[in-house]
Amino acid sequence: MHIPDGFLATPVWATLDVAAAPAVGYIVRRAQRGFDEARVPLLGVMGAFVFAAQTINFPVGIGTSGHLVGGALLACALGPAAAGVAMCAILAIQALVFQDGGVLALGANIVNMAILGVFAGYLPFHLWGGGRWRRPAIFAAGTLSVLVSALAALAELLISGVKMPSAVLGMTLALFLVSAVLEGAITLAVIEALEAIQPGFIGKPAAGRPLARRAAGLAAVLLAAIGVWFASTAPDGVQKLAQKAGISQAAAFFWTPLAGYQAAFAGSLWLRKAIAGLAGLALIYGVCLWIGRATRARSV
């Protein structure tokens, strides 16, 4: 789902970079309203969990993989504004530290996943998540979140002049639909698991969610340290489309020791992946805590 550098035309990524700045400022201001100190640890833990889950690719067919995007999950747990802020932090660290997603295309990825994806995912939960349609609403939230993000990415590629034969476009849309349905199922499963540990996890005051918060934190550590070993190495939907369309990823602007979610200085492959995953968790958790406390300080 992350768009690398070299995929979008300069006017497209530049426009989206410019558009993303005020959009992020707006959701930060929205997050400040009613943000309390008790929500800060939950912001960090859920951000870390989604980061860890995004590193675990699973097969979706035709030599392609997908992964949990997590926008709807964050929106249900934190509210749309705080979820958007957390997703922005995740995307920025992925691009700058792990070289996952382009630096120039960061605005596009933020608009697609942190703005459009999060708010589209929150809509079904907001409308129907409080009654007997709650489970279908959560499933629809995850599904719609990925569909909107994927369609936005496809539109940006088309505007950039990427040629997509009808067969390739149809295959890509089918793969994104499968990924979206899996996102809905995983989102529902994770929320139900957290609510089994802590009844009323969704919609309960943040101070009343310590058990579920600890469970999500433990799951994030296990995913980062062990789950990465079982992740699929097949390209995701955007990368598969790029292969079919003959798009080449631009060279990285700088080198980082954790590029590709592997610690270059470690020995074995598992150790390289585990160190990178755990370092990413610590970074995301720390940045989300800092953002949460800064947001809280400005809201009082």
Domains, the chain, with CATH or none:
10-299 (1.10.1760.20)
SS3 category, 8: coil
Residues 214-236: tens digit of each pLDDT = 999 999 999 998 887 778 888 88
Residue 205 has pLDDT above 70, yes or no: no
Residue 300 has pLDDT above 60, yes or no: no
Say how far apart CA 168 and CA 142 lie, in whole Å. Answer: 25
Residue 193 has pLDDT above 60, yes or no: yes
Token pair recorded at residue 230: 């079982």
SS3 category, 267: coil
Say how far apart CA 142 and CA 224 lie, in whole Å. Answer: 22
- pLDDT at residue 204 in the model: 64
Strand partners, 58: 66
Say how far apart CA 129 and CA 14 lie, in whole Å. Answer: 37
CA-nearest of 20, 1, 14, 22 to 160 is 14
- pLDDT at residue 206 in the model: 60
The pLDDT-based confidence of 207 (bands split at 50, 70, 90) is low
SS3 category, 61: strand
SS3 category, 58: strand
For the whole model, what pTM was predicted? Answer: 0.94
Residue 160 has pLDDT above 90, yes or no: yes
Token pair recorded at residue 199: 């009844």
Number of Cβ within a 10 Å radius of residue 3: 28
- pLDDT at residue 228 in the model: 75
Residue 40 has pLDDT above 70, yes or no: yes
Q: Which residue reads 């097969």 in tokens?
A: 59
- pLDDT at residue 297 in the model: 60
Q: Which residues, other chains included, contact 13 with Cβ-Cβ below 8 Å and sequence gap of 6+?
A: 5, 102, 104, 105, 107, 108
The pLDDT-based confidence of 299 (bands split at 50, 70, 90) is low
Residues 73-122: tens digit of each pLDDT = 999 999 999 999 999 999 999 999 999 999 999 999 999 999 999 999 99
The fraction of the chain above a pLDDT of 90, given in percent, is 62
The backbone torsions φ and ψ at residue 50, rounded to the nearest 5 degrees and listed phi first, read -65, -40
Task: Give the mean pLDDT of 187-196.
Answer: 95
Q: Are 60 and 66 in contact (CB under 8 A)?
A: yes
For 245-256, give the DSSP string: HT--PPPPSS--
Burial annotation 220-249 (CB, 10 A radius, 16+ → b, else e) = bbebbbebbeebbebebbbbbbbebbebee
Residue 21 has pLDDT above 90, yes or no: yes
